[in-house]
Every structure is written in C-alpha cells, then in structure tokens.
Structure 1
C-alpha cells in the first residue's frame, strides 16, 4: 500500500511528530511505501495563526506530494495549528481516502478552551468554524488513541466513523525496572503552558526545601518550546538552578537512557491528554509515573499499580507525592515492575495490524465505489 502521512510539522518538535516518524518506519518495515509531508514552525505568532486558518501554500505542497507519490491513502495527524486542513477538499476530488488520527480534541471541539487567555478564545473559535466543516465532510475515518477520545469525538464533534487504536511504544519493553534511589525526577515533552511544567517546577522547589540541600533530588527537563525562558526564570526565582537541568531536544534513542536514569517520570499536564507517548515510554522502561488525574493519562495508568495521580495544577499535591515516592525505594521498585507488566500491551505490531485493517477496508471500498458502471 502507498501511504502519504500529513502532519502540521515535519520536524520532531513534540510527541505527535515522534509518533509520525516512528509509524512511518514501522509501516515501511511491513512492506508499505510511505512518504511524509509537513510544515515548519514559524517565529511569528500572528503569521502562524493566519496560515493555520487556510493555507494555500501548504495546500499546493500537499497536492504536489499527492501528484508525485500517487498514494492509495492519506494518513493525517495534527493539521490544525500550522498547515490547516485546506487540502482536504482538493484531495477528496481526487478520490483519495483520508484517515485522521485525533491526537487532541481542543482544536475541534467548541466546548473546549483549556487555559486559553480571553484574547485567544475568539481566534480559536474562528479557526474551528473554518476547520470543522472540512474535517467532518472530507475525512473518511477517524482514529482515536483512547476510548476517552472516541467518546469526545462522538459527543462533542458529532462524528461516528471512529476507531480506537491506541498508540504504541516503539521500543522493546525492558526486562526489569531500573535501579532506584538516585532521587532523579524526569520530564520529557514539549515546553508549553498546557503541559504544566511550571507546576512541576514549583512543586520541585518545595521538594528541595523539604529534603534539604544535602539530599535534594534533581529534576531533568528534556524538550524545547515557547515556555523555556519562562521556566528558566522560574527556576532562578526559586534558587534551584543547581538541582535543575534543561537538556533540550534529544533523539529518540538518547531519550530511552534518560528514562532508565530516573526514579520518577512526571507528566503534569493541566489539560486532558489523549494517549501521551511519554507515559507509555516511561512504563515501557519500568519507570514509575506521576501524572494528572483526568483524560487519557489517567486511562493509561489506572489499575496497573505503576503510577500516582494528582489533581491538575496542584503543585502542593504533586510535591507531596514526589516526596513520598522518593523516600520509598521499595514502592518505586514495585511500581516499576508493574509498569513493565502493563507495557507489554503497547505492542507496535498490534498497532500496525489495526492500522492496516482500517486502511485496507477504506482503500477496498473506494476502489469498488470508483468502478465504472457497466451497461447492460
């Protein structure tokens, strides 16, 4: 099968982009021809927003890729915040089936404006008004990485052609958890406000005070984003520079080592995540997780005994949870073993098989639909 993957960004700037490039390699390994087309980040917020409304530039780029690659199917991901879904109408005219994985619902649902300043609400509403008709009309099938996401798509967006296909982990599951007791706290991901890293920094500052400088833990923040300077300033304000490291972007294999060196992985998102890849990767490496008590992050870890859940935005609760865990190596070890056991279900082969089944059904249906009618 010839599959064209379309995403807002081509570079690996966040979890969605990591997934896009990993699934590209996975599908190629299984014998498919796969190409990727995407956009680039812009330094201008205004220009980026205007482009996200309706982009003739990216519409041409994507349709050129369609002409050159001649795909059987187009597999879309985040197409809301940069390239826009403006290419869907001309793609539909070519008769190419489209699958859209909805990694987050905020860009589609009229009910969701999480943590948006008032000045951003109307621009967000305008973008949804332009995008929703295109997506509802021209997307043939939706993929939801969690049952929560499927429910939201069905009830808040009003589509019913939704399949739940959980994101995979692209590493082999560790045979056992790492050694604990280092006091290392880890965050990996994009540095933007909705990820709640500012909450983690505030909680960690309190943790340092409680544990004392002699036995103080360390916090490693891996990733880049618009909140980087804000977070650096916050670390300076709390006078914890000696205990916090900003690593910047690391490649996928280097990231695996960072998990194995950590006692706890923290995803402090103040929004409902869909199916956060970093939580799954931490579990795959046998690392206990602390995350917020809602959304797809809760769905991933609930009932597995590998995580602690805290209220979103609650730095005190997060700090107390970290304090309790870092002081209890036996609990960390038990949670790590549970994480390894749970991660056995995050198979990339299972993920690929589910995608292939969905794709083949759409391609076969489209071929039958496009058959000429024979005269009697």
Structure 2
C-alpha cells in the first residue's frame, strides 16, 4: 500500500508527536508499505531525505515565510486553515507519490482537505490533541477542563492565550475548517478515549477508532546506561518526572506533594522549563534539561517511582508508557489519556488531578510498600505489550484496509 503521511514537524524537531510519526513511518516501511511523508521545512534541514525507508519531503508554507503568527521558538506551525504554498507543495508530493492513503497529523490536514477529492486517496487523521475543536489544543478554560466549545467563550479564551490578532483569526478559521475536516476525513484516530470525548466525535457522527500512541517493541532496550549525563542522578532511590516542567504537567502540584512527604528521597525532573511557572526548587530536587531520549530511558530504569501528575487532560503521554516498559510503577492523574494507560492498583496508582494531598499519599503508599511497588513494576511491563508497535501498528494497518475496501 502507498501511504503518504503529513506532519507539521518531523525529527530533528522532536517531541512526543514527532517521535510517534517517525516510528510509525519506519515501522510501516519495514512491513513492506511504500511510505512517504510531507512536513514543514525548518532552517538547516534537507528538503528531501530518506529516513530508514521513509521518503521525507520538506515543504514551505506561506505563513512561515511572511508571518510570525505561527512561529514559536523557531518551530513553524501549520495554521488552522489551508496554507496556499503548503497546499501547492502537498499537491506536487501527491503527484510524485500517488498515495492510496493519506494519513495526517495535526493542522497540516487543512492544507490537504481542498485536495481530497482530486487526490482520490482515503484521508485518515490521528488526533494527538483537541485541536479539532479547541484552537489552543488543550481543552482548558480558565485553568479548568473546558466543557465544550462556544463561539464567544472560545474567542475570549484564544485571545487570552494567543493575543488578539492570532486568537480571533485562529478561532474563526478553526471553526470553519474543522467543519470541512469532519466532512472530508474517512477515519479519525483519537489517541485516547479522552480525546474522542473532548473532540465530540460521537456527537458529530463521524467515523473514528481510538488507537493510542505506541512505543517501539524494544523501547526498554533503547537506553544508554553509560551516558555521562547519568552522573547527575542521585545514588539510590529517587522519584522521576519527565516532561515540560510546567503548571499543566503538574510540576507545581508535585512539589507541594513532595514537600509534605514523611521521607524525602530525591526528586528528579527532566524536561524543559515551562514559561508559565517559576519554581522555588528545594535542595533535594534536581531539574535537568537537554537530555537525549536514550539517557531518559536509562533514568527510568534507575528510578523508584515514575510520576505523571498532569492537571490538564494530557491526550496520551508516551512517558508513562516508557516508564512502564522499564518496569516502573506510575503514579498519575486520573484524567486524559493517563487513565487509558495506567491500570489503577495494578501498574500504578491514579489520583485526582491538582490534589497535592492525594498525590502525596499515593507516593508515600508506594514508598512504604516495596513489595507492592515491585509487583506493580512487573505488571506494568506486562501491560505495555498493548502499547507496543507490534500491537498498535497492526491496528492502524487494519484501518487502512477498512477504508480502502
């Protein structure tokens, strides 16, 4: 089958979504599919390359050339409407690649929908977040989970988040082109039940199947146990958080819970410092930045308990999967995709979000019970088989076959 993937970012620009897209493309190519990918070009990147069997076309967009509205920290985002230059570039890629399936990720799909009928390809969209209905993609309103879109509310929220110009234009465009997307897409693949509910797929009666993110089958082995950065980790037991050290990811709540522990073993936070949070870090807490993935995987293997205390409905965080693949129990918020990943009481503990006392009690519970902690780690390694590529990519292949039938 000839498959063209569309993604606004691709490595070396890296994040959870980018790693998912790359791993999916490589796995599909390894399974015998003819795989190509179109992604936005960034400075210093090759316009064309072959990445382990995936032909990568890097295209230019008008918004990136002439507008700073969709550029952040040198990351060039797709807008929530068709970008003229990107649309024309995707058209050229389609002519060259002649795909049977076009599998899009995020707002770059809007530069594809006007070409859908002409392309004669089936269109699939993986929903990695809530951008189908929420212009800020997080489905939060006034620091709480949003109960659904309303035009005036969305305009006020987006202008507070993006500023007046970008907020107004993005909200209006997302309402219009979200409607077009629902009509044109042959199958939506939300990465969690939370994303399916949050984007109101059932209400709009569009076809969808929940298929989560995944990790490589050998992810637990993709670690560098000799990496020099590992010298920054504490000796002995420690708690580990990986992700943006931000309010949304629960960093503030975590530090409050940590301060109340009876026995404060070291706490390590690995990730970028969030703009929305200035932390007063105690001496027993280490904040580490710029770690490569192989070093992070080695850190998971060394830690005692993994922590994912998000206070927003995190769609499907792969960090929880990576911790489980490393045989570590996960304490996570009972919200978003974390509820799909962590089996409460079996592979870890789920606690109410934004509740420092509940988080503190869960951490203390596992610290005081090494036998239960170890048993959860064993169960976590068993459960992660559901989220490995051999399981998840096979489900995606079945979707390709269903929509092509």
Q: Give yes or no for TM over 0.5.
A: yes
CA gap of 1:155–1:165, structure 2 versus 1, over 3 A, is closer
Give yes or no for the alignment of 1:357 onto 2:398.
Answer: yes
Displacement of 1:73? 1.2
Q: Alignment partner for residue 97 of structure 1, among 103, 122, 131?
A: 122
CA RMSD between the two structures: 3.2
Displacement of 1:283? 1.4
Displacement of 1:152? 4.6
CA gap of 1:37–1:272, structure 2 versus 1, over 3 A, is same
| Partner Cα distance (2:26, 2:365) in 1 | 40
State the partner residue of 1:339. 380
Q: Which runs of 5+ in 2 are unaligned?
A: 43-63, 144-152, 160-166, 222-234
- The aligned runs of 1:148-297 (5 Å cut-off) are 148-153=194-199, 158-172=204-218, 182-191=236-245, 193-207=247-261, 210-211=262-263, 216-221=265-270, 223-224=271-272, 227-228=273-274, 231=277, 233-234=278-279, 237-240=280-283, 243-251=285-293, 253-297=294-338
State the partner residue of 2:58. none
> Secondary structure of 1:9's match?
coil
> Secondary structure of 1:101's match?
strand
| Partner Cα distance (2:382, 2:254) in 1 | 27
CA gap of 1:35–1:186, structure 2 versus 1, over 3 A, is farther
CA gap of 1:156–1:18, structure 2 versus 1, over 3 A, is same
CA gap of 1:60–1:19, structure 2 versus 1, over 3 A, is same
Task: Normalising by structure 1, report the TM-score.
Answer: 0.79
| Contact map agreement 2:94 2:119 (CA 8 A) in 1 | no
| Contact map agreement 1:170 1:348 (CA 8 A) in 2 | yes
CA gap of 1:156–1:270, structure 2 versus 1, over 3 A, is farther
State the partner residue of 1:138. 184
Displacement of 1:300? 2.0
User: Would you say how many aligned residue pairs link Structure 1 and Structure 2?
Assistant: 343
> Secondary structure of 2:6's match?
strand
> Which structure would you say has the larger RCO, counting Cα contacts within 8 Å and 6 or more residues apart?
1
Task: Normalising by structure 2, report the TM-score.
Answer: 0.74
| Contact map agreement 1:3 1:74 (CA 8 A) in 2 | yes
| Partner Cα distance (1:40, 1:190) in 2 | 24
Displacement of 1:295? 2.7
Displacement of 1:186? 1.8
- The aligned runs of 1:297-308 (5 Å cut-off) are 297-303=338-344, 305-308=346-349
Displacement of 1:22? 0.8
CA gap of 1:328–1:52, structure 2 versus 1, over 3 A, is same
Displacement of 1:246? 1.4
Provide, for residues 309-359 of structure 1, a one-character-per-residue CA deviation record: whole Å limited to 9, x for no partner. 122122332233223323432221121112122223334222222222221
Displacement of 1:174? 6.0
| Contact map agreement 1:283 1:343 (CA 8 A) in 2 | yes
State the partner residue of 1:325. 366
